[in-house]
Structure formats: C-alpha cells, structure tokens
C-alpha cells in the first residue's frame, strides 16, 4: 500500500481471493494499523464464505467474538459477481 502511493486513508475495500495463510495472516496487523487512524470509516472485506469464516475465527481469537479493532463489514462473494 505504501509503495503504491495509495496509503491507508484510501483503503475502503479488501478482496480476499482465498483463505491461504499467506493471504490472510497480515489482516490483524493491517487492522491494528488502521485503528491507529482513529477513523470511523467502514472497511468492507469481500471473500468466499470459507475465507470470511476463517477471518472471523482469527479475529475472534485475537479480539473476542464479534469484535474487531475497526468498523468492519464482511461481504460474501457470489458466483457471477464482477468487480
């Protein structure tokens, strides 16, 4: 994000293509960094239902069930939907 010049302030959506750990293990660090902005901006995370389920369980293990350090919306992907 930083090398691209986009920065964190413009990040409002995150697309997770699959649940391999090399794609999701950075999420807690990203969320902690976004929390430092002290913003109420909502981050929408798009992904398959299995991927989002793993993210939910990971977040619950770190911050408690149903809690995240930032405002968050999980949006399951459906077949045929394009971005």
Q: What distances in angstroms separate CA 75 from CA 6, 37, 56, one per listed residue?
A: 22, 23, 12
| Catalytic (active site) residue 22 | yes
Half-sphere exposure in the Cβ direction for 2 (13 Å, CA): 2
Catalytic residue selected from 22, 40, 41, 50: 22
SS3 16: strand
Enzyme catalytic residues: 22
């Amino acid at each position: 994000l930083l090398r691209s010049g986009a920065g964190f302030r413009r990040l409002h959506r995150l697309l997770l293509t699959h649940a391999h750990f090399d794609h999701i293990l950075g999420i807690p660090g990203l969320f902690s960094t976004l929390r430092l902005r002290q913003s109420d901006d909502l981050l929408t995370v798009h992904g398959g239902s299995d991927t989002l389920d793993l993210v939910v369980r990971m977040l619950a293990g770190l911050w408690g069930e149903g809690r995240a350090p930032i405002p968050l919306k999980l949006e399951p992907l459906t077949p045929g939907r394009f971005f």
